[in-house]
Amino acid sequence: MLLAVAAVVLCMAVPAGADAGDIYIQRVADAIGPGIADFVVKGIAQADEEGAACLIIELDTPGGLVESMRKIVMAMYAAQTPVVVFVSPSGARAASAGVMITMAADIAAMAPGTNIGAAHPVGGGGKEINETMAEKVTNDLVAFVKGIAQKRGRNAEWAEKAVRESVSATDKEAMEQKVIDVVAEDVDDLIRQIDGREIEGKGTLDLADADRKEIQETFRTKILKTISNPNIAYILLMLGLAGIYFELSHPGAIFPGVIGGIAIVLAFFSLQTLPVNYAGILLIVLAIVFFIMEMKITSFGLLSVAGVVSLFLGSLMLFEGNGPTGGLSWQVLIPTVLVISAFFVIVAGLAFKAQTAKPRTGSRGLTGEVGVVKQKLDPHGKVFVHGELWFAKAAEPIEKGEQVRVTGVDKLVLEVEPENG
């Protein structure tokens, strides 16, 4: 009886819809950023929840953001499922942040023809950091990677050199220096080699008869990866500013304001994950201020020119150079600045023209208009003005058919005088 109850409890412990003991495989071939970090962390959580035999992360990365890398490493430490990082296929690399991710795995593996290393920290966009800050950041990363190596029983001395001196190693060199545990031709070979290995705190791997399940990127992950691209973030920022600017200059349009609001929120999310120079953002905001002032002040185009220059300089300074996460492309920057500048200038010109144009409705719109007498004015009669028939009065008699000019409006009666007078 007790055995039956125990069997029922064990069956209930296996989540519905998942085969306990499957090998989960996750492909990561991109720079390490918020989108990738979210993808890997969720993959580890899914493997834990569904009782996977192990999670194999096929890695190929040029590096990426330190905070995203730390998020992945912390998830690996907390994982109940054995995590295997496999740098593959041949020609792939685990550079920069990829070094820490690979060494943090329970089992680190590489395919022939791959490399690992070059983890020296760089500034936002790939530029060198100033000397004082570089020393602080480097020491912090050295302590971090040495901690990883010691926790996993790997070569801490090599790990320190990878950060301080940007050393790299091939698959064979990494194996000889105890940076990794396995060199495997492919996933099949990897599974054969690690089957039966003891993982500290997680038991023995039993992979001989395990099925495989691939973890695919979700729509949310794809969106996060896309908007974390500096070019996309910049375009979203420009669209957002343009939409809000149009709504402010033409209240009630609604649609441009809605699109602009959504775009600006997405842009701000992207910018918080990217190496941003805030002087660039301030110059872009200043450009918008110049364009708004162009609508209010007669500057003969000087404010528009200042706005274009400020927008260009701000865009140029927004991201610093080209790093693993990418930088702002000239092919994106130049056309975007030209199009957005033209948009702002045209909208500002239309708004200024509308403000200074002669009214077309009401008494001010009728004053100065020329009409034709339809009923003799002596002194009252009717005139045809502005496409309508109006009661009118004149200081002297005016015959039917003659042209008159409106000089004023008294309630609903026009005051007119002879056009030739």
β-sheet with 115-117: strand ranges across: 93-95, 115-117, 168-170
Q: Choose the catalytic residue: 68, 96, 168, 228.
A: 96
pLDDT, one tens digit per residue, over 136-174 is 888 999 999 999 999 999 999 999 999 999 999 999 999
Percent of the chain with pLDDT over 90: 38
Alpha helices in 14-58 (DSSP H): 34-49
pLDDT given for residue 399 in this prediction: 85
pLDDT given for residue 273 in this prediction: 66
- Comparison of pLDDT for 349 and 206, the residue scoring more: 206
pLDDT-based confidence at 15, cuts 50/70/90? very low
Q: Choose the catalytic residue: 71, 88, 127, 136.
A: 136
178 catalytic? Reply is: no
Residue labelled with tokens 């109940």: 80
pLDDT given for residue 321 in this prediction: 46
Domains and CATH numbers, the chain: 19-218 (3.90.226.10), 229-356 (no CATH), 362-418 (2.40.50.140)
Tell whether the model's pLDDT for residue 7 goes beyond 90: no
Tell whether the model's pLDDT for residue 342 goes beyond 50: yes
Percent of the chain with pLDDT over 70: 85
pLDDT given for residue 358 in this prediction: 57
Average pLDDT over residues 274-278: 76
Instruction: Please enumerate in sequence order all residues whose Cβ is within 8 A of that of 81, keeping only pairs 6 or more positions apart, or say none.
Output: 24, 44, 47, 48, 52, 53, 54, 55, 202
136 catalytic? Reply is: yes
Average pLDDT over residues 406-416: 83
How far apart (Å, rounded) are the C-alpha atoms in residues 311 and 276? 15
Q: Which of 294, 287, 408 is nearest to 356 (CA)?
A: 294
pLDDT, one tens digit per residue, over 28-54 is 998 888 889 989 999 999 999 999 999
Output the pTM of the full model: 0.66
